[in-house]
Chain A
């Protein structure tokens, strides 16, 4: 049964040291508040899975929480590089991390295979690509019908997946809309799923029947955190804070400035502070 919990409890109940965890959201609906709660609780030795590590994994890697990252684009979208992740990969600071790198197609297919209960994903990919030579989890299979050689990657099966979504109803069903990314697959592939939402509504009776709704029984815990995806965005609620992404490039460039930022905006803050960070990004009514 899904539980409505304060974010602190939802994270403490579902994430553990050494877990394989996905915080998903493809540019849109990135679960920043959940990631910051994980930083406050100081988990160690995590395997972090995410197609686009983005700011949240830059922050978690910079805090030394990751043993390994699995990803397909380790950049600050439209801005440049992720400098804490770079420091870890290039210099082993604050600790060396293992890297498992895929393409977006590889990760998307692997999540889908996880949701589908398959051991691996099969697709037409990685042809001529250097990743196949450096990632032993990229293999090939031959189609038994046509003889075509196709790429194969293992299914992704996180211990726990965190996502952010627009809203839940009182029963704990969750609506995701806009750029829906990989969230549905990431939730269904995981042993446990935790969702932060902007708000809870009485029911979903008036919704279009084909919207993406995750039934309550696919979710372990829901926490209401308005603004919880900032500086990413929530379609229908507030816009992406592109200026914050530009600013992050400077913050993350310096180890001390990064630590000071984490102290102020993560360690000494709480989930309740997110609502105030998106006020200026809400569209005028």
Chain B
């Protein structure tokens, strides 16, 4: 790990570990790829050994030794309790209400937890065509709660997203209920600088905890909307030695595994 600085951990490590702490052993978590996947597996390897991790490839109760590069790496299936077909995954398990936490990343996010991973610019004539929603549009509305994790930046955290890939709290307030969505939506946002929770009435994400050494000014400088801070602002506990070691070991195993298949042949 480079750039750990004088705190002994990087902002990204703090983000992953803070996100992992939000998960419990009895959660059934639908795991988005990238940052959520690392957080979910750190939780499983530390304080939440019995957590059920589900990837959209149909792998239920998986326990990979390395982080998968894709949502369908072989190890997910080999270590899963069961593997189901993709229609069953989305119909019975997600739509059927079996998922307690949908854990998503975001390319673009607004203050109401709406996510864009589809396009930058106009949909018909995009400036940048991003991958799109995949499973996320229904994960965002059928999971009982949604957690979001992403590093802060002005490009990523914006006043107005370019496309509503996954609906959070819409324009805020009771917008979800007005659309007939009966799940809680985004209840937690973990960035590399802070922990955020939605205001109970307006549903606007509000900073409730700053990570160690982070200032309010840093949070504002890396966010595209005017940030609201809770009156009683906590400091996120620093990563423990066990948490850091677990995360770093996981990332080292992952790096070795993904490069291990490299050997100068054709794709």
Q: Do A and B come from the same complex? A: yes
Q: Give the interface of A toward B (CB within 8 A).
A: 26-28, 51-52, 55, 71-75, 77-82, 85-86, 89-90, 101, 103-105, 108-109, 111-112, 123-131, 134, 148-149, 178-182, 184-185, 212, 230-231, 233, 235, 239-248, 251, 261, 264-265, 269, 273, 276-277, 280-281
The complex places the Cα of A242 from the Cα of B259 at a distance, in Å, of 8
Interface residues of B in 18-62 (CB under 8 A from A): 33-34, 56-59
Known: A105-B135, A181-B86. 8 other contacts (CB 8 A): A27-B70, A77-B71, A104-B90, A123-B95, A130-B118, A179-B76, A243-B260, A247-B262
**Closest residue of chain A to B84, judged by CB?**
A180
**Interface status of B129 (Cβ within 8 A of chain A):** yes
Chain B binding surface SS class: loop
Are A128 and B57 neighbours in the complex by a CB distance under 8 Å? no
Residues of B within 8 A of A243 (CB): 258-263
Are B76 and A81 neighbours in the complex by a CB distance under 8 Å? no
Residues of A within 8 A of B78 (CB): 235
Residues of B within 8 A of A149 (CB): 180
Picked from B69, B91, B138, B142, the residue with its CB within 8 Å of the CB of A78 is B69
Are A182 and B86 neighbours in the complex by a CB distance under 8 Å? yes
Are A73 and B87 neighbours in the complex by a CB distance under 8 Å? no
Q: Give the interface of B toward A (CB within 8 A).
A: 33-34, 56-59, 68-74, 76-78, 83, 85-87, 89-91, 94-95, 118, 123-124, 126-138, 141-142, 163-167, 170, 175-176, 179-181, 257-263, 265-267
Also in contact, A78 and B261, with CB within 8 A (given A104-B134, A127-B179):
no
Are B265 and A242 neighbours in the complex by a CB distance under 8 Å? no
Chain B CB count within 10 A is highest, among A27, A89, A277, for: A27
Are A103 and B136 neighbours in the complex by a CB distance under 8 Å? yes
Also in contact, A78 and B87, with CB within 8 A (given A124-B95, A180-B58, A240-B70):
no
The complex places the Cα of A280 from the Cα of B170 at a distance, in Å, of 49
12 contacts between A and B (CB under 8 A): A74-B129, A90-B129, A127-B141, A129-B137, A134-B123, A179-B57, A179-B76, A180-B85, A233-B74, A241-B261, A244-B265, A280-B265
Residues of B within 8 A of A233 (CB): 74
Chain B nearest Cβ from A90, distance in angstroms: 6
Also in contact, A108 and B163, with CB within 8 A (given A81-B131, A242-B69, A244-B261):
no
**Closest residue of chain A to B118, judged by CB?**
A130
Are B86 and A108 neighbours in the complex by a CB distance under 8 Å? yes
Are B132 and A71 neighbours in the complex by a CB distance under 8 Å? yes
The complex places the Cα of A260 from the Cα of B194 at a distance, in Å, of 47
Are A182 and B87 neighbours in the complex by a CB distance under 8 Å? yes
Top 8 nearest A-B pairs (CB, nearest first) are A27-B72, A75-B131, A128-B167, A243-B262, A77-B70, A244-B267, A73-B134, A78-B69
Are B167 and A129 neighbours in the complex by a CB distance under 8 Å? yes
**Closest residue of chain B to A244, judged by CB?**
B267
**Closest residue of chain B to A24, judged by CB?**
B86
Also in contact, A109 and B118, with CB within 8 A (given A86-B129, A90-B126):
no
Are A281 and B267 neighbours in the complex by a CB distance under 8 Å? no
Residues of A within 8 A of B266 (CB): 244, 264-265, 269, 273, 277
Residues of B within 8 A of A239 (CB): 74, 261
Chain A nearest Cβ from B182, distance in angstroms: 10
Chain B nearest Cβ from A136, distance in angstroms: 13
Are B170 and A128 neighbours in the complex by a CB distance under 8 Å? yes
Chain A nearest Cβ from B116, distance in angstroms: 8
Are B90 and A108 neighbours in the complex by a CB distance under 8 Å? yes
Residues of B within 8 A of A79 (CB): 69
Chain A nearest Cβ from B108, distance in angstroms: 12
Are A251 and B267 neighbours in the complex by a CB distance under 8 Å? yes
Are A103 and B267 neighbours in the complex by a CB distance under 8 Å? no
Residues of B within 8 A of A129 (CB): 133, 137, 164-167
**Closest residue of chain B to A78, judged by CB?**
B69
Also in contact, A89 and B74, with CB within 8 A (given A51-B86, A73-B134, A129-B165):
no
Picked from B126, B128, B261, the residue with its CB within 8 Å of the CB of A281 is B261
**Closest residue of chain A to B33, judged by CB?**
A78
